[in-house]
Amino acid sequence: MTHDIAYRNSSDLLDRYKADLILEEGDRERVQSQDASLGEKTAAWLIVNSMKAKRKLGMGVRD
């Protein structure tokens, strides 16, 4: 939810990059959490890897 709000409130790429990192870090914690269900861990794992791919491919980066 915080990620979506950050994207809505700012079109600055640096702010959006930071929001992506925060989302990735939070979901990485859920992947490693002992109390998360398999479904929750799977969803979090997909988000973590999507954010990594987005960053590595440079999506949203202007020349």
Whether residue 4 contacts residue 15, with contact meaning beta carbons closer than 8 Å, is answered with: no
Instruction: Give the model confidence (pLDDT) of 2-53 as tens digits.
Output: 888 988 998 888 888 888 899 999 999 999 999 999 999 999 999 999 988 9
Confidence grade of residue 59 (pLDDT, cut at 50, 70, 90)? low
Boundaries of every domain in the chain = 2-57
Q: What is the pLDDT of residue 31?
A: 95
Q: What is the pLDDT of residue 60?
A: 56
Task: Enter the tokens of residue 17.
Answer: 């990059």
Task: Enter the tokens of residue 5.
Answer: 């709000």
Give, rounded to a whole angstrom, the gap between the first and last alpha carbons of the chain: 29
Dist CA 36 CA 18 (whole Å) = 25
Residues 6+ apart with CB under 8 A from 1: none
